[in-house]
Amino acid sequence: MSIIGSHAARPLAALVAACALVGGLVACADPQEQPPTTTSAAATSASATVPTPGLAPEPSGVAGARVPGEQRAKAASLMVVGVNNYDDALWKLQQGVGGIFITSWADTELLTTPGRNIVALREAVGRPFSVSIDFEGGRVQRHEHVIGPRISAREMAATMSPEQVEHYARELGNSLRWHGVTVDFAPVLDVDAVGLDIVGDRAFSTDPHLAGEYGAAFARGLASAGVTPVFKHFPGHGQASGDTHLELAVTPPVEQVIAHDLPPYSIALKQGGGAVMVGHMVVPGLGDGVTPSSLDPAAYELLRSGNYPGGVPFEGVVYTDDLTGMRAITDRHTLPQAVVAAVRAGADQPLFSSGGDLVAAIDALDAAVTAGEVPGERLDDAAQRVQLQLLSTGA
């Protein structure tokens, strides 16, 4: 069974129009001008307009003009790094990173304190950057005492219709934007496997179709509030042998993953918009069968090509899962090694929350491009996708 395909580039003009549309959505949820809504979670909403997915990079245009010209700065612009507080975030942004990640241990001043919050960072830095957070609901909801608590994906699917989940996620998105967040590492599209409970209540369902329908609805809600949703963990963690935070996990053979774990992506990616996070699980039969998907070119090609039943080509931003907080990676790679391997494989934005040397990671990617280990075109493509996504949220 062939799982590798090719895909054609699409015009940049379409994305510029989409960015203008999303800019309108963002303006409606400007975190500095109006508070988040507090409407009942059970209310039904009309289907929201969703941003067009990021399109294939081109050498000119609005996004191209925003890409740093110098190679090392371009490498830095791909990085999404965890931050502890305002001063830590400011220093990392001054190194040129493309985004900051609000960790669970970050000082809430970044979300709440005038002069020490995201608004102050944007004023101090003077260039676009993304602000991301892990907020799924249930057991994964960072700073819920500030953002407002949400129930788990499983409970959402058990108690709400997809339309109600869309509304529920829009309220979450409004709160995130109010506090300066532009990217949410949610929804989970993993299909929970009965008896394994690896993903558990983080998954919407054990049924692939329902997982896709509810995940797509959650994403529409976030996008309508001006927050980029990130579908995770491609190609699917539900049947994996363990938790990649603790160990290298292995899924069933690729044929089973395609049949069981990819249908939610067929549903969610068809609506357009959003980004994707690639997980650290090994998929036998995909690539060499021993490399984690986040570092495996075959996993990125499968995602980009859409060459699976019902799949569509995907040209948006692709993140790695955390490269520093998960033993599936850290037991085998240093941060600089993991960053280089991920970008070479096809990642646009390596994510690392803690425990790594940012400068060394930037230097390693810069050196790898100079040495030809990472093609210059790969760096250029990733850097333009990053800027396209920033434009889509008005960041």
Q: What is the CA radius of gyration of the chain?
A: 19
pLDDT score, position 17: 37
Position 242 scores a pLDDT of 66
Q: Scanning the structure block, which residue is given the tokens 């060394």?
A: 360
User: What pLDDT is recorded for position 44?
Assistant: 31
CA 35/CA 49 separation, integer angstroms: 21
Residue range 137-146, pLDDT digits in tens: 889 889 999 9
What is the predicted pLDDT for the residue at 28? 34
Read off the pLDDT of residues 65-124 as tens digits, 9 standing for 90 and up.
899 999 999 999 999 999 999 999 999 999 999 999 999 999 999 999 999 999 999 999
Q: Which domains occur in the chain, in start order?
A: 12-34+47-393 (3.20.20.300)
Catalytic: 333?
A: no
What is the chain's pLDDT, residue by residue, as a tens digit (395 residues)?
333 333 333 333 333 333 433 333 333 333 333 445 443 333 333 333 333 333 334 444 888 889 999 999 999 999 999 999 999 999 999 999 999 999 999 999 999 999 999 999 999 999 999 999 999 888 988 999 999 999 999 999 999 999 999 999 999 999 999 999 999 999 999 999 876 677 889 999 999 999 999 999 999 999 999 999 999 999 998 888 766 666 678 999 999 999 999 999 999 999 988 999 999 999 999 999 889 999 999 999 999 999 999 999 999 999 999 998 777 788 888 999 999 999 999 999 999 998 679 999 999 999 999 999 999 999 999 999 999 999 988 87
Find the farthest-apart pair of alpha carbons in the chain and give their distance in angstroms, rounded. Answer: 56
pLDDT of residue 243: 66
Query: What is the model's pLDDT at position 43?
Result: 33
3-state secondary structure string across the chain: CCCCCCCCCCCHHHHHHHHHHHHHHHHHCCCCCCCCCCCCCCCCCCCCCCCCCCCCCCCCCHHHHHCCCCHHHHHHCCCEEEECCHHHHHHHHHCCCCEEEECCCCCCHHHHCCCCCHHHHHHHHCCCCEEEECEEECCEECCHHHHCCCCCHHHHHHHCCHHHHHHHHHHHHHHHHHCCCCEECCCECCCCCCCCCCCHHHCCCCCHHHHHHHHHHHHHHHHHCCCEEEEEEECCCCCCCCCCCCCCCECCCHHHHHHHCCHHHHHHHHCCCCEEEECCCECCCCCCCCCCHHHCHHHHHHHHHCCCCCCCCCCCCEEECCCCCCHHHHCCCCHHHHHHHHHHHCCCECEECCCCCHHHHHHHHHHHHHCCCCCHHHHHHHHHHHHHHHHHHCC
The whole-number pLDDT of residue 150 equals 94
Q: Shortest CA distance to 65 belongs to which of 320, 383, 368, 395?
A: 383
Please report where in the chains the tokens 């995907």 appear, as a residue: 314
Q: Which phi and psi (to 5°) does residue 87 adopt?
A: -65, -40
Task: Specify the pLDDT at position 48.
Answer: 33
Instruction: Find the catalytic residue in 30, 245, 331, 357.
Output: 245
The pLDDT assigned to 381 comes to 97
Residue 335 · residue 360 · CB < 8 Å: yes
**What is residue 369's predicted lDDT score, i.e. its pLDDT?**
99
- pLDDT digit string, tens, across residues 213-257: 999 999 999 999 999 999 999 999 888 876 666 667 899 999 999
Torsion of CA 209, 212, 216, 219, to 10 degrees: 150
Q: From CA 181, how far away is CA 142, in angstroms rounded?
A: 12
> pLDDT at position 62, please?
83
Is position 363 annotated as part of the catalytic site?
no
